[in-house]
A and B are shown apart, each in its own frame.
Chain A
Amino acid sequence: MSERVLVAVTLVLSLGAVFFVTGASKRGVVEVSVVPRDFEGLGCEGEVAGLRCAPAPQPLRPFMTTGGRLVALPGIFEMPRVEQWLRHPKEPTERVRILCDAEVLATGVPLRLRFSTSDAFGEQRVDVASVQNCFVR
């Protein structure tokens, strides 16, 4: 019986190890680069991982990270410190980097996106993350 207990403990430990190693990836820092007009231009249609595109209090928008990956993040421009910059940019075309703590909610999900008001919405696969503690660098 003790052998069976040992094996059972091993299996539980192994499952825990897999969850620990893969679960560790859910949180990180995301960095995106934006200009003021992105507030209007970046948009999507629909809902994913419980987050909604505009109209919504904290709408989901697509961003290209500084690492070159497409990601949809909610309410970036509605975060207090980002909103403050958006109200008073140094110049209308000022480009800034925004850093946030992020938690990945879904990866590679299809979503209809656009990157400027003149663009049509088109479906692309995107990672989705919730964000907090955003600040402008």
Chain B
Amino acid sequence: MFARLPSAKVVLLLTLMCGGVAARLVNLQYPASFIFDEHHFVENARNYLAHRGDWNDHPPLGKLVIAASMRALGDNALGWRLPSLLLGLLTIAVAGVASARLFRSREAGLMAAALIAADGAFIVYSRTALLDGQLVFLQALALLVATFRWRLVTAVAAGAVFGLACSVKFSGVGLLVLFGAAMVLDETIDWRRRFTFALLIGVVGVVVYFALYALGLSISGVAWGPSEVWANTQRLLQHHGGLTDMKHASTSGWATWFLPLKPIVFLREGHLGAVRMVTMLGNLAVWWAASATFFGAVTLVLRDGTRRAREWPHGKALLLLLAAALGFLAPWVLSHRDSYAYHYLPTYLALVVLLAGVLRWASERAPKQVLGYLCVVTVVSALYGPLWCAAETSQGVVDALLFMRSWR
């Protein structure tokens, strides 16, 4: 009778997924007012609905998506947050499929989906009307595109995803590193075709970006030609170029994100001794394992070189995921732009998929240890879950769980 039941590991992975989905849904409309940076994006979504100008410092797409949801569901917490919820749920599925294709293993796909589902950072960004969840989804989509053989249609799809990502936030440009690495690692195409595809990605990306920006400008009721898009883009880039003082209380340098030192607290309310909190601190068992995987993989690649790394079992998948991670890390390493823990999320997604691949590899050699690790992930999710979905708890519990002072 027991032989027909799913394996213990599958039960655990499905539990993580179901729990993660539930944590995205519980109290989704709480609070009914803005938390963290939601006002930047919802107020500008309102501006689009009222055909007024967008004063936010990011391109229009993210706010247009929120505006579309508000038009369908009304100007309320559900209308603001539904796009993040849907994209957050899709991220689980898309990243899972990408992982399964990268590592040629359904189990790797299931593991990636479960770890992403059960991580607080992804949960919180699936429940708030912010742009970084959208960017994380596009990173997952880009990973999926990169798993296909490079043909014309792959390059067009990659260009479209690149254009969409840059239309949400300029840091979407990091996807070029992933697509570049994917083409280099595909040995079935020659350099001439790689160059053609790279050109195509750039052209399609620019067309998508200009079209979406022009759409935003036209909805705002202002001139929307290519020169206006270019002028607005330059203005935003100049603005971002000037944000280098790192004086905001929530800023954190990129090197601290692997711990993380300063995850952002979105909400903190107290009443009758009860505390409601929302923190973007992830599942520590996943976060720290992903960081360790990153440093381990980088060390191995530096030691053996990329040519030898390609020959490792799933070496290409590892290099691809490192490229995806570094693509979104590079802007913060190479510039002095003010940075925040949420800038790490697209990188973190790639590292969690890499971690899933490593766990899949390890489960053939040390299945009990991998199962034990997944048990730890499950318990940590259960402990921290209430802090990801604004459930009531006590200050004592908050102090115990957020044991680093900089986390509170």
Q: Which A residues contact B (CB, under 8 angstroms)?
A: 1, 3-4, 6-7, 9-11, 13-15, 17-18, 20-22, 24-30, 65, 67, 69, 71, 102, 104, 107, 127, 129
Contacts and interface: CB of A to CB of B under 8 A. Distances in A.
Nearest to B271: A69
B300 interface: no
Interface stretch (B162-170, B171-179, B346-354, B373-381): B373-381
Contact of B271 (A17, A27, A67): A67
B271 A102 contact: no
Given A7-B8, A21-B397, A14 B271 contact: no
17 contacts: A6-B371, A6-B372, A6-B375, A7-B8, A9-B375, A14-B19, A14-B382, A17-B379, A17-B382, A22-B392, A25-B274, A26-B274, A28-B272, A69-B272, A102-B272, A127-B271, A127-B272
Contacts of B393: 21-22, 24-25
A127 B274 CA distance: 12
Given A3-B368, A14-B381, A18-B386, A25 B375 contact: no
A3 B9 CA distance: 8
A107 B275 CA distance: 13
- Provide the main secondary structure of the chain B interface: helix
B384 to A, nearest CB: 8
A65 B386 contact: no
A10 B271 contact: no
Contacts of A15: 382
Given A14-B381, A17-B383, A21-B386, 18 more contacts: A4-B8, A6-B371, A7-B8, A7-B12, A9-B375, A10-B379, A18-B385, A18-B386, A22-B391, A24-B393, A24-B396, A27-B273, A29-B273, A30-B272, A65-B271, A69-B272, A71-B271, A104-B274
A102 B274 CA distance: 10
Given A1-B2, A10-B12, A22-B393, A67 B270 contact: yes
A27 B273 CA distance: 6
B371 A3 contact: yes
A1 to B, nearest CB: 7
Interface residues of B, number: 33
Contacts of B9: 3
Contacts of B11: 7
A49 B375 CA distance: 38
Contacts of B7: 3
Contacts of A29: 272-273
B272 A14 contact: no
Nearest to A28: B273
A92 B8 CA distance: 69
A1 B275 CA distance: 40
Given A6-B8, A6-B372, A24-B396, A11 B271 contact: no
Contact of A71 (B270, B272, B375, B383): B272
B76 interface: no
A76 to B, nearest CB: 14
B218 interface: no
Contacts of B270: 67
A45 to B, nearest CB: 23
B154 interface: no
B366 to A, nearest CB: 13
Nearest to B16: A14
A96 B379 CA distance: 45
B196 interface: no
Contact of A10 (B2, B375, B383, B386): B375
B382 A24 contact: no
Contact of B394 (A10, A11, A14, A24): A24
Nearest to A69: B271
A85 to B, nearest CB: 22
B15 interface: yes
B354 to A, nearest CB: 24
A3 B8 contact: yes
Interface string B88-117: 000000000000000000000000000000
A28 B272 CA distance: 5
7 A-B pairs closest in CB distance: A28-B273, A14-B382, A25-B274, A25-B392, A3-B8, A17-B382, A24-B394
Contacts of B381: 14
